[in-house]
Each structure stands twice: as C-alpha cells, then as structure tokens.
C-alpha cells in the first residue's frame, strides 16, 4: 500500500473504529476479492463492534492499494459518506498492471469489453492467485504498442485459462494498452478444417457491425489476410487471445503483426513466429490452504468445518486446480461422498471422477493422454520409461544417460521436448539439469503403463549393472545419490529378488549408503521391501534391520565407524556377524576385535536415533504410533518415523532451547514451548507454523493437547507461575489458571479432558477444572518428605512431573526420589515408592494398562515399576547421560526415552519386563593365566563374581554382603580374592568355595584400592584418607604408611618390598612396606597427582597431574628429567613403552601425546578428529593407556576403546561400547585380549582377530 494511503488510514483510524459496522463492508470487500473468508472469520471473532473495526483496519493495513480502494467504495455504498470523504484524498493512483490485484476497476466498461470479446466468465468457484495474475499483466504491459506474443504455459489443469481471463479484468490495463478491445478464441486440438472454421467465426465476429457483410473466407490464407486488415484498420491496439494452442503451425494463421496472448502446454509453440516474445510459467501446484479454500467454496462451508478427509483430498490432488475443482463440483452434488472420492484418487481411478462442466475433457486422464499422444512414436517410448521415476524426486541427467545408453546432449534434447510440452519439469542445479514429473503426470503414467512397470524397472536395474558392473557410484558423480536412494526401489519394482537380496544384505552397500545418507532410509527399505526379502528366510532381514536400528546413532556421525567392527559385535548366529567375520579375515593387516563374552548381553531396545546435535529434552509418540516428535537444546523440532528413524520434518523452531513438544490428538499439529517464552503450533506434516502465542512472561516448561480428536485445546505452563489454556481457533489465551506461587514445571489433561493437573516448584500439585479454570484441589507434596524427627524437610521440594492413570482415577506425582500415587477424588495418598537413594527422578509416565510406571533417572537409566506390587520390574540401561523424558506409546507396547547424550531410544515394554538387571561395577581385577582370562567383578553392588572370560561363565559368586563392595583384587595364583567395602571393612576369601578367611575393620571411610603382594600373604589398601595400610592377613599384622597430607589417589608395588604411592597433595612417595618408612619423597606437582607409571628398567617414573603437565623423574637422583607441557586439560594417565623409549600420556580433552623419554620431545599427537559440534572422538577423558610388547601399538580407554599406530599417530580401530566412561583397560601380555567395564555395568572381553 502507498505510504500516503496508509497514513490516511492511520490518521482517521479513531473515527473509523468508532462508527463502522463491519459485516456489510466485509461482504463488499469479499466480493471484490481483497478479503478472504479466513480474514472475515478473524474479524468476527472479536468481542465488540469497536474491536471488530480495529481488526479489519489492521488487516487492510497489511494489504495493497486495491484493499484501500475497495474499503473506500464499501464505505460509500454502505452510507458512510462522511467517513469515505476522510479517505478520499488518500485514494492511490492507478498505474500500469504492476503489482495489482485482479479486481482493479472491474467497472461496467471492463464488463462490456470482456463480454464483447468473448472472454470466459469467472468459474463458479474462484480463488485468487495474485502473483501469477500480476505476472501476466506485467508481460502484457511489456508488449507496449509493438506487435508480439505473450505465452502463458503450464501442464494440463494448472489454471492457465482462468488466470489469463482474470488478468484482463483490469480497467486501467484495457484503457491504457488495449483500447481497441480484446478478442478471445478457444482453439484446442485442431486439424486444418477445424482451424478454418475458428478463423471464419472470428472474422464474422469482428465484422458484425459492418455494413459490408462479406462472405466467409474460403481458406486459411484468405482468412489470415482478412484478419490482418480487420486488426489493423478496425481494431488497432487490441489484444487477441488464443486459448489452448497445441501446434505451432496453428499460430502462423495469426502471425500478422498484432498483439497476441496464447495459453499452451508447449512452451516452444511460438518458435515458428516472429516478433517480441514473453513467457509466464504457471506452476502446477496450489498451496494446501488455497486447495482447502476452493473445496470450502464449492461445498459452501467454512474451512474449519470441512471434514477430516478434506486435508487428505487436497494432498491427493497434488495442488492441481483442475482436480480440486473436479472433486469440489462432484462434492457439491454429492455431499456425502468425501470418503468415496478420496479412495478413488488414492487408487488412481481417474475415470470415475467424471466431467466438470467448465472443462473440455471427459475425465482427468483424457486431458493428460492427449498431451502424450502429440509426441512422435519413439519419443512416446522414452516418455513411457519415465513411468518408474520416484515421486517428488529431481532426477539428474546422468541417470537417464545410463537408462538410455546415450550421451548427455542427446538425452537433454529429448527431455527438452517434454519440458516444452509441459510434460516434464526441469530444474537447473549449478551446471547440471535435474528433471521431474508432476505427481498427477506420474500417477497417470503409472496407471497407463501398469502392466509394463515391472519390465521398465528391470530395464533400469540392468542398465545400472551394465554401466557400473561390480563397482558402486562414488559421491563425486552427480547420479550417485539417486542410485543409493532408489536402486532398491527399482529392484523391488522389478521383483528382482536375488539382486535385492544381494544388495540389501551387503555390508559394503550398507557402509557406502549410510556414510552418505545415514541409516534411517535403509531401515525404512528393510520394512518396505520385507515381503520380497523374507521370501527365503525372514531372519536375515531381521538381523540387518536390528543391526542398523541399534547402531544407527553411531553410523550417522563423523568420523564414520568401522562397519565391519560393529558387525563383529552382533550375535554369532546373525548374518551380519558372519559377513563381518568373512570381511575381517579377508583384509590382511587390518585390526579387528571379537567380543567373546557378548552372548550374555541382550538388546532391549528396538531403535536408537540421534536426531539432534545437543541434549534431547522431550519426545512423544503420535496417537497412531507411526511418528515421534522430539525437541531439545539445539532449538529444533524433529518429526521422524517411529519404525525407522527416517526424518519427516525438521524445523528451527525457537530462539532458545525447546523444553517440550506435543502432538494433537489427531496428529495434525505439534506444539512446542521454549525458554524464549513462546509457544508455537506447527503443521506436523508440512512444518508450517500455524500460530505463535506470546502471553507467558518467562520460559514455558511444558505443553500438552487435550485428548479428544478434533478439539484443539492446548495447556501450557511456565516459570511465570501460570497455566494457560489455548484454543487453536482463537488468537488469544482462553483461560489462565492462577494459584501457584513458584515456577510450574508440568501440566497434564485428565484422560476425559475435564481436568488439568499441574506440578510446581512451590511443592504443590493442583487440580483445575478445564472448562472454568477454577482450582479444585491442592496437594502439599512437601508434607510427604519428613526428616528423621518427623518434621517437614527444610529442603525445597521441587515437584517435577505427574501422570494420570488411564481411567483418570489416580494421579502419579514425582518429587526428588519418590513416586507418590494419589486418589483424584479424595486426594489421599494411596502408595509411595522410594525409587533410588543415589539419583533424582527426572520424569515419569503411566503405561496405558495402569500397572506399569516408567521412571527416568538422573544417573542415565530408566526403571519400570509395578505400582500395585510396588516392585521394580525392569532396569533399562543404554543412555550415556541424564535421561530427561520417558513416554509410552498409546497402546503401551513401546516406550521411548530421551537424553543428554543426544539420542532417543525406543524400547519394547514386554522385552524389557522379561530382562534381568545384572550390573557390574567398573572396579574389577583381571589375571591372564595359562591362556585363560579370569575376572573378579563386583556384581549388583553386594556380590563378588569370578568370571571365566573365555567361556563367558561365572565360576563363583559370593552371598550378598551387608555393605556395598567398593573395590576388589585377585591373587596371582588365583587362590584368593580380597575386597573392600563402603563401611571400611576389608575381607579375604578363598576362591575355591568363596569362604571368607579373614576380615578386618580397617577404615572409617569407603575402601578405594586393594592389592595382593606377589607372595599373596600381604594385602595393601587405601581409602578416602591419607594412610596406606599393609596388612599381612595370614599373620594378622598391619603396618601403616603415614606421610601424605591428602587422600591417596593410587599406589603400585615395586621390586624389593617397595611401594610407590601418589596423592591429591601433589606428592609421590616411595615406601619400604616392611618397616613402614618413607625412602623417597617427590614434590611433583602443584595440583593433584592423577597417575604414575614406572619405566620397564625401573630407573624412572612418570607423574601426571591436574595442573595439565606430565613429568619424568629419576629414582636414583630424585630429580625431574623432563617436564612435558602441551596438554590443555588434566593429564589423567600415562604409560611407558616396553622398549623403554616412549611415554604416552592422555588427558581429559580426549587427547593422547607420545613423548621421547630421552629428550622429552613430543613425537606424536594422537589427534582425536573432532566430530559434529566439536565433540572429542574419545568421548571424553582418556582414562588408561597400554603399549603392545613391540611398542608399535597403543590402546586407550575413555568414552570407548581406541587402538593407535604409535609410529604415525593414526587411529587403527575404535570399539564402541554400549555405555561410556571406561575407567580402565586390562591387557594381556601378548596384547591380544582386552578387558573393561562400561558405566552401564556391561563387561567386555575382546580378543584380537
């Protein structure tokens, strides 16, 4: 809108708002097509007359000059002459057709000109497309007074004719550019005789008032000549419109130096004529909302009142105005047939969608087939080949070069012919061209060639095989992505079972494809083509699908993990494992590991996805269980398939972290709420923003839709202490619930939507009536947290979340480490459970069956509890960090968990409930003895287990101890074991029968370390204090080593009854364990000493520290030989190479450095290549290091295990453990067996292949 017009509206706004009644004014503006029905609805929703007038003016201010003119005319017509006079001087001047709406000056003059010229009237239902109308006007203005051609081209049914007619309804355009009038001729598909009749009719029309009524022209040449004279003498500066031109020879009859607009499907149709040429391309698709608008006008309903099928119908019509109008016209006559016509479209039964009065073709497929019939015969075959192209995919030229075995230029010439006839669309992408069919064209082709599709698919697969032979496409080739995405689709279409089997069950293909596009598409293909893949044996497909589902989060990252190594971790019966083993044995010089005790581990989850680049705060299932929505710290909303993890929608949704997301009951919408104080609602399929609510004044913590389909009621709660209810059909908040005095963390509708429950940091849970927003009940949760004297606990009780039982009778509430179950009617506490003493509950969810409750805990795990029996049913481990959310699927068969570790895991409830929760602590001891691997581990906190690592069997297990076991050790002869407890007690037992031989209450704090001397008679231990105890347990004598000022970090035995110890006080000491005296004292570092290592010749030791340095010391001179600087974090571990030449150090940044002992020079930097968002490849700290006997390899532990080439500093292999935080790695003397435990308590015994 012009600035001047805008200012007049703003200046006179108060007078207008005070006086006008909007309803009749809006009627006129709608008939002028400057106001939409949705905008009228928005105005009507306001409460008072003044508010309605204000809203209407706000809407007009966002529009163009036509709206101002229409508003002014409406005021005049409705008797507001004094108000219209205020706006009169602001009326914008009419310029050329640029930027003007189709209603510009639809005066009696225009009506007369168009009527005389035979321009078609508007269809009964018309929806404006102003951009395209303006584009046509603009090109007509470009003609000026010179002869020339404007071509409006596009595929069948895209609206060319209607838009052209609309562009002519413009007073200024006709008056300034075509004062001689306009003359419309519908041509269509014609032979010479038919064309002559059209020309004769046109001439007689133009001569109608002539006194000399001439005979009709006898041939086209005569007709052309007569037309030229008429246009020159009688109708100078007029416009000739030729609608629906098919052939360029037809145009020659009209090529007589006048101004012509033509509509055609063939862009190149004007190549045969002379003069200036302009083009307007009419896109094939209407926006979804426009499609709904057409349907609503046909059936005379508001968009909001249309049935559910309307959305699906518009989607199936692929945006084609023709098809939507065909359907709309049918529904007007048969209002109950929504479902019927939807099915016909879905089944491609175009013939049953019969004729619409405004279109020439009997049915949709006829309109399409006439276009195809115009092609010459060999071109028809090429066009038929396109029947098997996938929908909505732009295909590079190279794919069609392979299909037709032709040079690029030849292929481009053929395709250009299709493009010119609007049978194909072309997209220029940099230097190369990509081609695609409109969905309706593709539907038509597949329907027409249904019986030949299998052969056509077979042909493209064979051409691919012929071109690539045994190779696979490489990423630099333009066709590469096409084959990785669609080769399996073509093989399935051709029913080539063997080829599909070989492709989908090939680790090489999986590796290449997942590196390019991630695992989700492959998982989708296993599901999609399962009927073909399972014909011989369904187990193989299940093996591969499970492998990708459970390792997908690793396969989607950089650097790409070794897929052979991941395959070797599969069960030995799996086809994936067998293929991986063959690969590993074939590759000479490669380093692979066999996980020899993996049999005991069962995978309880069904899918692991990593859709976000940061913590995932919330995730939820759609009601049909097909999709999952998730959100988190990366400010995005993701929607993906629950079966495969395939991404459907990704939206950068907010300006700050997104804290919660929720599907509407019908799955059409997803709501998000954020720390940016906003609530937004999105279309879950298109990702378009439906509305934004900004009434909360602080971060919004939770959002949830009501449970009934079709009723879009949304509850949100915030740190501003309020809960708000929103109706999606209204712009502002419907109700605000006030009563909490601190942040509201969570809110939930009851199953029948009558109530809302809310949880707050103020220590209360409140129940509200949804309809009235009145507070019904309040429960003081802090009353249920008492201290030892039965007084209320002083600590603030933060109520985290709540969940309703399926019948709505009970409410489950979470605070601190307790689950509390309340009766909704009486607010009585029915039961309570203390879930954990070590961590807090982050979230909970009731299973729809009402017995099971899932609980997410801050220490990375999820537990399932039976709320009736008050027993823990299952313990789910898998996440590597805090779990923020847990949610059951609507039928309770699955549940998902989301975590700080950036993953979402989907679990099978039944499988999880049947599992046992055996967990090992990370403190263990290993003895490699006569080829056997004997492991002493702490099992479920209070038992000791002796495990044979080779056989994966438990040789001995102790009874439960009275206090938690904190550390353990084995004697070298495997006769004894010792363990320390959190109570400070140390015990020695016999391994043969597990009998405790000696016990000693040694400390007041938890025992941290214990080790036997080589003669097995003495046990050395340390705790959370500064004293080391040397206990001869057989003689019951004890020597105390006192001297450190702070807690001991660790110690190791030296030769000749010497002991090396290091402490948080920054010192390292050498002791004589017989006498208890200090022999050497080294003040090593300013910070805590975190590790020490002794050189193989015993002359030196190294120390590493929290001060980010490492040092090499001489035992003999007690002096520092080298100070090793360069680490950027705490140096956590160190080890000498067996050849006495190298020292390796590892730090908390995940970096490893290799130093020359002699010179102190840095030789290699084992650089963890940084991956997405700068995450270190070692997954955190480097906790332990060990060299191979030949000093050429190094193994390190941290977030997972890595093997390095010492000479080059390159990584040789990575072993991804299920959990993380590996505290140590035990390595066999021959460097072939490795033992560790992750933070999930899973034991790994790995053997080099």
* pLDDT (tens digit per residue) in 214-263: 677 888 888 888 888 888 888 888 999 998 888 888 898 898 888 999 99
pLDDT digit string (tens) for 330-360?
787 778 888 888 887 777 666 555 544 344 4
With cut-offs at 50, 70 and 90, classify the pLDDT of residue 429.
Answer: low
With cut-offs at 50, 70 and 90, classify the pLDDT of residue 209.
Answer: low
> pTM of the full predicted structure?
0.70
Q: Which two tokens stand for residue 12?
A: 């006179």
- Mean pLDDT confidence for 808-824: 90
> How far from each other are the two terminal CA atoms of the chain, in whole angstroms?
76
Cβ–Cβ under 8 Å, residues 359 and 326: yes
Cβ–Cβ under 8 Å, residues 39 and 27: no
Other C-beta atoms closer than 10 Å to the C-beta of 1090 total 24
Residue 1060 has pLDDT above 80, yes or no: yes
DSSP 700-745: EEEEEE-SSTT--EEEEEETTS-EEEEETTSSSEEEEE---SS-EE
With cut-offs at 50, 70 and 90, classify the pLDDT of residue 96.
Answer: very low
- Mean pLDDT confidence for 764-777: 92
Cβ–Cβ under 8 Å, residues 236 and 216: no
Cα 672 from Cα 663, distance rounded (Å) = 9
Cβ–Cβ under 8 Å, residues 688 and 732: no
Q: What's the confidence (pLDDT) of residue 1055?
A: 87
- Identify the CA nearest to 1167 among candidates 1144, 1150, 1186, 1155: 1150
Starting from the edge strand earliest in sequence, which strands make up the sheet with 276-281, in order?
A: 182-188, 239-245, 259-264, 148-153, 276-281
Q: What's the confidence (pLDDT) of residue 795?
A: 64
Stretch among 894-908, 1078-1092, 1156-1170 having the lowest mean pLDDT: 1156-1170
Stretch among 361-365, 459-463, 614-618, 780-784 having the lowest mean pLDDT: 361-365
Q: What's the confidence (pLDDT) of residue 1077?
A: 93
Instruction: Write the DSSP symbol of residue 560.
Output: P
- Identify the CA nearest to 459 among candidates 503, 390, 403: 403
With cut-offs at 50, 70 and 90, classify the pLDDT of residue 628.
Answer: very high
Percentage of the chain surpassing pLDDT 90? Answer: 48
Q: What's the confidence (pLDDT) of residue 185?
A: 87
| Helix/strand/coil for 452 | helix
Helix axes 507-517, 575-586, angle to 10 degrees: 100
Q: What's the confidence (pLDDT) of residue 29?
A: 81
Higher-confidence residue of 978 and 439: namely 978
Other C-beta atoms closer than 10 Å to the C-beta of 266 total 22
| Helix/strand/coil for 818 | strand
DSSP 401-434: HHHHT--HHHHHHHHHHHHHTTSSEEEEETTEEE
Cα 266 from Cα 550, distance rounded (Å) = 51
DSSP 1142-1153: EEEEEETTS-EE
Cα 268 from Cα 275, distance rounded (Å) = 14
- Per the listing, tokens 């009038």 go with 181
pLDDT digit string (tens) for 150-195?
999 988 778 888 899 999 999 888 988 898 889 988 887 777 877 8
Cβ–Cβ under 8 Å, residues 577 and 570: yes
pLDDT digit string (tens) for 690-718?
999 999 999 999 999 999 877 789 999 99
- Mean pLDDT confidence for 105-133: 77
Mean pLDDT of the chain: 86
- Per the listing, tokens 């989850």 go with 605
Vertex 1219 angle, CA 591 and 891, to 5°:
125
User: With the C-alpha atoms ordered 207, 209, 212, 215, is the resulting torsion angle positive or negative?
Assistant: positive
- Mean pLDDT confidence for 135-164: 88
Other C-beta atoms closer than 10 Å to the C-beta of 773 total 17
With cut-offs at 50, 70 and 90, classify the pLDDT of residue 365.
Answer: low
- Mean pLDDT confidence for 596-605: 75
């Amino acid at each position: 809108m012009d600035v001047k017009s805008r200012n007049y509206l703003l200046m006179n706004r108060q007078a207008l708002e005070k006086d006008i009644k909007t309803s009749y004014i809006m009627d006129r503006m709608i008939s002028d097509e400057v106001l939409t029905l949705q905008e009228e609805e928005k105005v009507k929703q306001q409460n008072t007359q003044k508010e309605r007038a204000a809203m209407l003016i706000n809407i007009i201010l966002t529009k163009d000059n036509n709206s101002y003119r229409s508003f002014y005319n409406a005021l005049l017509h409705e008797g507001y002459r004094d108000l219209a006079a205020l706006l009169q001087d602001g009326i914008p001047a009419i310029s050329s057709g640029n930027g003007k709406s189709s209603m510009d000056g639809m005066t009696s003059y225009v009506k007369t000109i168009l009527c005389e010229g035979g321009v078609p009237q508007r269809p009964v239902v018309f929806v404006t497309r102003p951009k395209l109308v303006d584009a046509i006007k603009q090109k007509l203005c470009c003609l000026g007074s010179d002869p020339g051609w404007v071509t409006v081209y596009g595929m069948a049914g895209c609206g060319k004719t209607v838009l052209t007619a609309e562009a002519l309804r413009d007073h200024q355009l006709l008056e300034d550019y075509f004062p001689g009038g306009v003359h419309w001729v519908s041509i269509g598909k014609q032979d010479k005789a038919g064309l002559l009749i059209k020309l004769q009719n046109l001439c007689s029309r133009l001569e109608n008032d002539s006194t000399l009524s001439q005979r009709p022209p006898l041939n086209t040449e005569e007709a052309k000549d007569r037309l030229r004279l008429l246009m020159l003498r009688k109708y100078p500066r007029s416009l000739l419109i030729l609608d629906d031109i098919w052939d360029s020879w037809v145009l020659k009859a009209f090529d007589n130096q006048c101004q012509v607009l033509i509509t055609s499907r063939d862009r190149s149709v004007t190549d045969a004529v002379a003069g200036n040429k302009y083009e307007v391309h009419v896109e094939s698709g209407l926006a979804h909302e426009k499609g709904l608008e057409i349907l609503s006008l046909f059936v005379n309903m508001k968009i909001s009142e249309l049935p559910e099928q309307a959305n699906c119908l518009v989607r199936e019509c692929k945006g084609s105005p023709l098809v939507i109008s065909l359907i709309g016209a049918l529904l007007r006559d048969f209002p109950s047939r929504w479902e019927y016509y939807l099915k016909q479209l879905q089944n491609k039964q175009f013939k049953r969608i019969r004729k619409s009065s405004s279109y020439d073709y009997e049915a949709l497929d006829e309109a399409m087939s006439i276009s195809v019939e115009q092609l010459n015969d060999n071109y028809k075959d090429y066009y038929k080949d396109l029947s098997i192209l996938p929908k909505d995919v732009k295909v590079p030229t190279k794919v069609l070069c392979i299909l037709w075995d032709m040079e690029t230029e030849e292929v481009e010439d053929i395709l250009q012919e299709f493009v010119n006839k609007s049978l194909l669309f072309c997209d220029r992408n940099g230097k190369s061209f990509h081609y695609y069919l409109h969905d309706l064209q593709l539907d038509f082709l597949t329907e027409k060639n249904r019986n030949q599709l299998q052969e056509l698919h077979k042909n493209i697969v064979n051409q691919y095989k012929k071109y690539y032979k045994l190779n696979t496409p490489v990423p630099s080739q333009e066709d590469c992505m096409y084959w990785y995405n669609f080769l399996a689709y073509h093989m399935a279409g051709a029913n080539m079972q063997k080829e599909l089997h070989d492709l989908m069950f090939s680790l090489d293909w999986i590796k290449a494809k997942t590196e390019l596009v991630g695992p989700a598409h492959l998982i989708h293909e296993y599901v999609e083509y399962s009927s073909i893949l399972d014909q011989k044996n369904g187990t193989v497909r299940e093996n591969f699908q499970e492998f990708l589902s459970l390792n997908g989060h690793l396969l989607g990252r950089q650097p790409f993990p070794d897929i052979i190594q991941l395959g070797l971790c599969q069960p030995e019966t799996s086809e994936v494992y067998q293929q991986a083993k063959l690969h590993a044995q074939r590759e000479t010089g490669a380093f692979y590991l066999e996980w020899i005790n993996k049999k005991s581990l069962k995978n309880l989850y069904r899918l692991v996805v990593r859709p976000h680049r940061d913590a995932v705060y919330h995730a939820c299932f759609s009601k049909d269980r097909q999709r999952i929505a998730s959100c988190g710290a990366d400010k995005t909303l993701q929607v993906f398939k629950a079966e495969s993890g395939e991404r459907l929608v990704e939206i950068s949704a907010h300006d700050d972290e997104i804290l919660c997301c929720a599907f509407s009951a019908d799955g059409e919408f997803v709501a998000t709420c954020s720390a940016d104080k906003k609530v937004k609602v999105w279309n879950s399929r298109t990702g378009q923003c439906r509305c934004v609510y900004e009434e909360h004044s602080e971060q919004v913590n939770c959002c949830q839709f009501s449970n009934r389909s079709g009723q879009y009621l949304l509850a949100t709660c915030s740190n501003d202490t309020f809960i708000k209810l929103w109706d999606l059909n209204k712009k502002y908040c419907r109700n605000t619930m006030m009563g909490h005095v601190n942040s509201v963390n969570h809110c939930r509708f009851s199953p029948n939507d009558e109530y809302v429950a809310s949880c707050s940091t103020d220590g209360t849970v409140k129940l509200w009536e949804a309809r009235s927003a009145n507070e019904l009940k309040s429960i003081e949760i802090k009353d249920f947290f008492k201290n030892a004297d039965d007084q209320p606990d002083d600590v603030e009780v933060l109520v985290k979340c709540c969940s309703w039982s399926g019948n709505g009778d009970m409410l489950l509430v979470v605070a601190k480490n307790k689950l509390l179950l309340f009766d909704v009617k009486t607010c009585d506490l029915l039961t309570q459970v203390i879930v954990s003493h070590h961590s807090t509950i982050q979230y909970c969810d009731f299973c729809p069956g009402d017995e099971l409750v899932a609980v997410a805990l801050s220490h990375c795990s999820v537990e399932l509890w039976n709320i009736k029996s008050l027993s823990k049913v299952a313990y789910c481990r898998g996440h590597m960090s805090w779990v923020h959310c847990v949610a059951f699927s609507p039928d309770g068969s699955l549940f998902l968990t989301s975590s700080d570790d950036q993953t979402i895991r989907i679990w099978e409830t039944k499988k999880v409930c049947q599992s046992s929760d055996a967990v090992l602590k990370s403190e263990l001891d290993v003895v490699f003895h006569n080829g056997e691997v004997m492991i002493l581990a702490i099992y479920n906190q209070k038992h000791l287990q002796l495990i044979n690592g080779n056989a994966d069997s438990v040789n001995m297990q102790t009874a439960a101890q009275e206090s938690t076991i904190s550390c353990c050790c084995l004697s070298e002869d495997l006769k004894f074991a010792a363990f320390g407890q959190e109570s400070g007690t140390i015990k020695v037992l016999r391994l043969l029968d597990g009998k405790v031989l000696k016990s000693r209450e040694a400390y007041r704090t938890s025992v941290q370390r214990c080790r036997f001397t080589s003669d097995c008679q003495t046990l050395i231990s340390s705790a959370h204090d500064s004293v080391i105890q040397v206990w001869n347990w057989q003689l019951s004598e004890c020597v105390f080593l006192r001297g450190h000022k702070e807690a001991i970090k660790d110690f190791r035995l030296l030769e000749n009854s010497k002991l090396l110890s290091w402490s948080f006080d920054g010192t390292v000491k050498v002791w004589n364990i017989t006498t208890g005296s200090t022999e050497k004292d080294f003040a090593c570092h300013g910070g805590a000493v975190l590790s020490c290592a002794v050189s193989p010749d015993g002359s030196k030791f190294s120390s590493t520290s929290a001060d980010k340095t490492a040092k090499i010391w001489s035992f003999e001179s007690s002096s520092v030989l080298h100070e090793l600087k360069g680490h950027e974090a705490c140096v956590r571990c160190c080890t000498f190479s067996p050849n006495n030449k190298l020292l390796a150090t590892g730090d908390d940044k995940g970096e490893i450095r290799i130093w020359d002992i002699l010179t102190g020079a840095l030789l290699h930097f084992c650089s963890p290549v940084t991956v997405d968002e700068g995450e270190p490849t070692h997954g955190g700290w480097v906790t332990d290091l060990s060299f191979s006997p030949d000093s050429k390899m190094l193994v390190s532990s941290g977030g997972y295990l890595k093997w390095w080439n010492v000479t080059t500093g390159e990584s040789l292999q990575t072993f991804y453990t299920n959990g993380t935080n590996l505290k140590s790695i035990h390595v066999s003397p021959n460097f072939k067996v490795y033992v560790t435990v992750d933070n999930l308590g899973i034991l790994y015994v790995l053997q080099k292949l």
